[in-house]
């Protein structure tokens, strides 16, 4: 993907909250993983087990948080922004559109 497709509309700059949202989600996952990794390290007194626990908890927390974020319905301003982005790219973009069948040439 090119940077132009993901660029904000002309005259609109993304808010600080929009810019920092991905870092907030990854940071939250890292915080949960750090807590779980420290608990595992302290209880087993083995650094390797704590590091493995950190990695597993980080990945699971990241996936679960990403699934929760995808389940949130966009509000009116987000829907307007999505409609504006669709309009710039030629209208709506159906996910499962029927493709036209290729033309059959006679004589083969």
Q: What is the DSSP string of 11-77?
A: T----HHHHHHHHHHHHHHHHHHHHHHHHHHHHH--HHHHHHHHHHHHHHHHHHHHHHHHTSPP-HH
> Considering the domain boundaries, does residue 66 fall inside one?
yes
Please give the residue range of the domain that contains residue 46.
Answer: 32-72
In this model, does residue 24 exceed pLDDT 80? yes
Tens-digit pLDDT profile for residues 40-96: 999 999 999 999 999 999 999 999 999 998 888 878 888 888 778 777 766 665 555
> Considering the domain boundaries, does residue 53 fall inside one?
yes
Q: What is the pTM of this model?
A: 0.62
Count of domains observed in the chain: 1
> Considering the domain boundaries, does residue 99 fall inside one?
no
> Considering the domain boundaries, does residue 5 fall inside one?
no
């Amino acid at each position: 993907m090119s940077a132009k497709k993901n660029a904000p509309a002309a005259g609109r700059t993304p808010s600080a909250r929009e810019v920092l949202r991905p870092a907030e989600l990854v940071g939250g996952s890292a915080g949960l993983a750090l807590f779980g990794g420290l608990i595992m390290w302290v209880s087993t007194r083995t650094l390797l087990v704590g590091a493995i626990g950190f990695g597993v908890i980080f990945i699971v927390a990241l996936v679960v948080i990403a699934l929760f974020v995808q389940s949130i319905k966009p509000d009116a301003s987000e829907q307007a922004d999505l409609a504006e982005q669709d309009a710039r790219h030629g209208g709506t973009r159906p996910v499962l559109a029927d493709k036209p069948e290729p033309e059959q040439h006679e004589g083969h």
